[in-house]
Structure 1
Amino acid sequence: MGGTWSIQEYMTAGVENLVKNAVKVTLTNPAQSVFMARFAAASRAASRKRKISEQAGEHIPAFLIASITSSCNLHCAGCYARAVHSCTDEKPKEQLSAEEWDAVFAQAEEMGISFILLAGGEPMIRTDVIEKAGNRQNLLFPIFTNGTLLDDTYMRMLKKCRNLLPIFSIEGKEKQTDGRRGEGVYERVLAAMEDLQKEKLLFGSSVTVTKENLEEVTSDEFLKKLEERGCKALFYVEFVPMSPKLKGLAPGDEERKYMNRRLSELRNKYSDMIFLSFPGDEISSGGCIAAGRGFFHINSHGGAEPCPFSPYSDVNVRDTSLREALHSGLFMKLQNNGTLTGNHEGGCVLYEKRDEVESYLIRF
């Protein structure tokens, strides 16, 4: 790629390919394919906005992650959010209101952001925020959910608002999923998938990848079962250890090489599914794409953070615009000093270099 490689061109091409594939995999579902065709046009318009900004010297990413709540109804083993106290059982205080989140969504759309990934905690606790998201038809909102709160209210909302895309979290088969998320969760997720399939509603799955489940969750047996239930998108998220004793579960170089090879095979073999990985192949993207290179994160209290796995912030969207938050001192420091593109051992450079990230906050 050399000196001519551009993160903007790389991410724009990736977004266009994602939308194109999404249109393709919904062709058998008229209502969904009509929406995806409209969204494709909106995505192209957003891409033009980002290109104009880039030409003016301002980089706008295509993706935003929004953790709309710090509450969750489950206690998953090894949960990173609970380990860093961004998810608790205490009654949330001073979280962004639905109106404040709607303002964030509006600003994101104006800037040219196309995808807002809704996370938590458990995002489906915030029905009020998801209703606001559903009204923003030029944006696509993957909702990363444990799948246990899908009810008639949400089914009606999903039928009406095709830009809301549930992404169900599973860990593999029943033993692995229930072992981490609680007894009976696997069956509840499958039931949710079946309900959506009956209504011909688009959904996907998210898998936390460890050394222990890597081969299983990329196996044809596992994927065919998801495909049969109507799953159209699969997100692979590398496990980030929140303590030294769990480091052995995190994928290493060999596992990431295997994953990259396997992803290439899966994308060719399962033409009616979309496969994405996070953090993915950092070599092809020129390093970590957090802190605004490819995406950034707004926590439930409005803090602008590089990534959910790097919960550090020096600005809040309550005090500044989303555009200004994107150009925070912390983000600029991370982008310009080589932290995101430097060498590191694991899959998450910001978690591995968290002491370095913290040191930048002290200087502000």
Structure 2
Amino acid sequence: MRITEKAKNAALQTAIGQGLHYLEKDPETNIPKLMHLIDKLTPDDWYRAQRDAFRNVIESKNHWYDLILKVYDLDAGVRQTFFQNFIMNAALLGSATQEEVSEREDCNVPWAILLDPTSACNMHCIGCWAAEYGNRLNLTFDELDSIVTQGKALGTHMYIFTGGEPLVRKKDVIALCEKHSDCEFLSFTNGTLIDEAFCQDMLRVKNFVPAISLEGFAEANDSRRGEGTFEKVKAAMALLKSHKLPFGISTCYTSKNYNDICSEAFYDMIIEAGALFVWFFHYMPVGSGAVPELLPTPEQRAEVYHRIRNFRQSKPIFAMDFQNDGQYVGGCIAGGRR
């Protein structure tokens, strides 16, 4: 990393650190004053577009402002760890290291690394592509630890678990979070294995965030994921909310449920449940067990595309449209790009 970049990131880290500490005292009163503090501590030309966008959110007090306030309803330790690991380590300091390594090694260095701790799952959802791998493949804890250790050397501090069902390996997942306390871990999960003990583990390590699979209301969700799953997910969300823990939703939309998952009622339900973000993926038929009729039509995909973007203008939740948001991340985020 060039000395000027090191100095720039150190100065910005100090500014943001002071700003976040300032917010902890009284967020609703101090959020409007935040950009004034950041402006005092950093030169005018640093991250101008990002700062202007954040300033607009604060001044307009729109739905994004409401989302910021929701973050301040979280457990204080979890929130502070998220700010340190996600904003400081992953976004600022990590990105600077990634740029240095990328230039030196002439390769892409990913901002996030996706890994599957296991192919095992406690459910059997119709058309699930992960089932093609069987249910007996596992990375050992030492292998998981090695991946994260090597990733950190490249500047990567964000890790995303997929599967299988990652929480089949609860103990190893939590042990990994505990050992690498300077990283942020997100896990796609069916949510049915989240219980009181696991919530206590999340409160202890502070750097684990679940993205729970939910594919509409009870009828649409359970038709693919199994009877009673909708109620289990609702119970998991209620438990996480009661402990002031962050979580989001992961939804796979199909030709059968697309109208549910992009309805205002669905958005309002998951927001009320406490979700801070939602990932949208469209179903893709993969493998011998695929169900081609679940593939959404071009017209259905277009409808979902437009509805997601409309709700981005009004709902206090961060929505990501995996296949259709490539322009924001320079291509597929699973492809080793930024």
Instruction: Give the TM-score normalised by structure 2.
Output: 0.73
Q: Which residue of 2 aligns with 1:96?
A: 139
SS in 2 for 1:264: helix
Larger displacement relative to structure 2 (233-242 or 262-271)? 262-271
Partners of 1:230 and 1:201 lie apart in 2 by 9
Report the 3-state secondary structure (helix = DSSP H, G, I; strand = E; otherwise coil) of the residue aligned with 2:182.
Answer: coil
Residues 289 and 156 (structure 1), Cα distance of their counterparts in 2 relative to 1, 3 Å cut: closer
Query: Which whole-Å deviations, capped at 9, do the CAs of 1:260-294 have from their partners, x for residues lacking one?
Result: 322222222123x2111222334565554444235
1:265 aligns with 2:314: no
Q: Kindly tell me: are residues 142 and 253 of structure 1, through their superposed partners in 2, closer, same or farther at Cα, counting changes over 3 Å?
A: same
1:207–1:237 Cα contact (<8 Å) kept: yes
State the match for 1:298 in structure 2: none
TM-score normalised by length of structure 1: 0.68
CA distance in 2, matches of 1:289, 1:195: 30
Verify the 8 A CA contact 1:260 1:281 in the aligned structure 2: no
Q: 1:24 to 1:32 in 2, by over 3 A?
A: farther
CA contact (8 A) 1:123 1:145 kept: yes
Q: How does 1:12-27 map to 2 (within 5 A)?
A: 25-27=70-72
Partner of 1:46: 94
Deviates more, 1:167-176 or 1:26-35: 26-35
Opposite residue 231 of structure 2, the aligned amino acid is E
Max Rg structure: 2
Instruction: Read off the aligned partner of 1:239 and give its amino acid letter.
Output: Y
The equivalences for 1:1-364 within 5 A come to: 25-29=70-74, 30-39=76-85, 40-43=87-90, 44-56=92-104, 57-82=106-131, 84=132, 86-88=133-135, 92=136, 95-135=138-178, 136-242=180-286, 246-271=291-316, 273-282=317-326, 287-294=331-338
Query: Alpha-carbon deviation of 1:34?
Result: 1.6
Counterpart-to-counterpart distance in 1, 2:174 and 2:82: 19
Determine helix, strand or coil for the equivalent of 2:150: helix
Go from structure 1 to structure 2 and tell me whether the alpha carbon gap of 1:279 and 1:104 turns closer, same or farther (over 3 Å shift).
same
- For residues 307 and 269 of structure 2, the distance between their equivalents in structure 1, rounded to whole angstroms, comes to 17
Name which of structure 1's ranges 59-68 and 250-259 shifts more when overlaid on structure 2. 250-259
C-alpha spacing 1:76/1:106, structure 2 compared with 1 (3 Å):
same
Conserved 8 A contact 1:61-1:293? yes
Structure 2 counterpart of 1:158, one-letter code: M
CA contact (8 A) 1:102 1:129 kept: no
- The CA distance in 2 between the partners of 1:141 and 1:123, in whole Å, is 12
Return the alpha-carbon distance in structure 1 between the equivalents of residues 97 and 121 of structure 2: 36
1:68 Cα deviation (Å)?
0.6
Question: What SS is found at the alignment partner of 1:165?
Answer: strand
Say if 1:169 and 1:207, in contact at 8 Å, map to a contact too. Answer: yes
Distance apart, 1:140 and its partner CA: 1.8
User: Which protein has the bigger helix share?
Assistant: 2
**Compared CA separation, residues 290 and 143, structure 1 to 2 (3 A):** closer
Is the 8 Å Cα contact of residues 254 and 296 (structure 2) preserved in structure 1? Answer: yes
1:75-122 CA-partner distances (Å, limit 9, x unpaired): 11111111x2x133xxx26x3211221111111122122321112111
Which amino acid in 1 is paired with 2:274?
A: G
> What is the identity percentage for the equivalent residue pairs of Structure 1 and Structure 2?
27
Contact 1:133/1:141, CA 8 A, preserved across alignment: no
Distance apart, 1:223 and its partner CA: 1.0
Secondary structure of 1:133's counterpart equals: helix
Q: Give deviations 1:2-58, integer Å, cap 9, x for gaps.
A: xxxxxxxxxxx99xx99x978664123333332222121112111111222333322
Counterpart CA distance in 1 for 2:268 and 2:70 is: 15
Contact in 1 for aligned 2:73/2:244 (Cα 8 Å): no
Task: List runs of 5+ in structure 1 lacking aligned partners.
Answer: 1-12, 295-364
SS in 1 for 2:108: coil
